Amino acid sequence: DAKTTQPPSMDCAEGRAANLPCNHSTISGNEYVYWYRQIHSQGPQYIIHGLKNNETNEMASLIITEDRKSSTLILPHATLRDTAVYYCIVRVLFGNEKLTFGTGTRLTIIP
Amino acid sequence: DAGVIQSPRHEVTEMGQEVTLRCKPISGHNSLFWYRQTMMRGLELLIYFNNNVPIDDSGMPEDRFSAKMPNASFSTLKIQPSEPRDSAVYFCASMTSGSTDTQYFGPGTRLTVL
């Protein structure tokens, strides 16, 4: 699976949009981009995933660049409960269902 | 659905003892994963099963670790004998194989080996 690079930490003011970047410059054409988060002491929680089109769900939006070498997870109105470690992962859809977690971005929402 | 269920939630044991961690995947899911999380190594995959068959156990640290999935609704991760360096949070996750579906994680078992 392609390697991802994320900033180790970010702060965001409560109520503002949190934009978390991820670089995956070696991504292959059949690899999806997945985002998970882990709130302290809990199991990782799925947020969103995409292949090449932008995606939106009730939790977040995922913007993938046209060349697919990077993406941004957007939490539109961050709350204190969004404080967590956010992981960007790329994985092949079929044949290898492993998730390889990197070190992620520790997002702190500031009141 | 109750989600992925793990037991126990906390386990404290002494070095040399056998430890068994248990996982019940979400009903209908046919892939199951065991992960370990430590401060030093982060979240790492130990083993995963597809239709109860181990597919990739390359992450299993050594022979002291073993995992089984006797049926679609139950899996165990056993450590025998346990060592202090095995102290970690162990997560189980499940999903439907061959889909864009996500992995759903359990709450984890925090293991402390004294």
Each residue's pLDDT tens digit, B47-83:
999 999 999 899 998 889 999 999 999 999 999 999 9
Give the mean model confidence (pLDDT) for residues B29-45: 93
Q: Could you tell me the pLDDT band of residue B7, with boundaries at 50, 70 and 90? A: very high
Q: Could you tell me the pLDDT band of residue B91, with boundaries at 50, 70 and 90? A: very high
Residues A98, B45: C-beta atoms closer than 8 Å: yes
- Collapsing DSSP to helix, strand or coil, A19 comes out as strand
Q: What pLDDT does A91 receive?
A: 85
Q: What pLDDT does A95 receive?
A: 64
Indicate which of B43, B46, B56, B105 best probes the interface with A, i.e. most A CBs within 10 Å of its own CB. Answer: B43
Amino acid identity, position B21: L
Instruction: Give the whole-angstrom CA distance, residue B36 versus residue B109.
Output: 9
Region at B48 (left for phi over 0; alpha for psi -120 to 50; beta for the rest): beta
Chain B residues with CB under 8 Å of a chain A CB are 4, 31, 33, 42-45, 48, 50, 56, 91, 93, 95, 97-98, 100, 102-108
CA nearest neighbour of B52 among B24, B74, B27, B23: B74
The CA-to-CA distance between both ends of chain B, in Å, stands at 36
Is the pLDDT at B13 greater than 80? The verdict is yes
The CA angle B113-B21-B44, to the nearest 5 degrees, is 80
**Which residues in chain A land under pLDDT 70?**
1-2, 94-96
Residues A43, B105: C-beta atoms closer than 8 Å: yes
Give the mean model confidence (pLDDT) for residues B12-25: 97
Give the mean model confidence (pLDDT) for residues B83-111: 91
Residues A43, B93: C-beta atoms closer than 8 Å: yes
- Collapsing DSSP to helix, strand or coil, B27 comes out as coil
Burial status of residue A95 (CB atoms within 10 A of its CB: 0-12, 13-18, 19 or more): exposed
Where is pLDDT greater, at B104 or B98? B104
Distance from CA of B42 to the nearest CA of A (A): 7
Percent of chain B whose pLDDT exceeds 70: 96
The CA-to-CA distance between both ends of chain A, in Å, stands at 37
Residues A43, B102: C-beta atoms closer than 8 Å: no
Q: Could you tell me the pLDDT band of residue B97, with boundaries at 50, 70 and 90? A: confident
Task: For residue B93, list chain A residues with Cβ-Cβ distance below 8 A.
Answer: 43-44
Residues B102, A32: C-beta atoms closer than 8 Å: no
CA nearest neighbour of B49 among B76, B64, B30, B66: B30
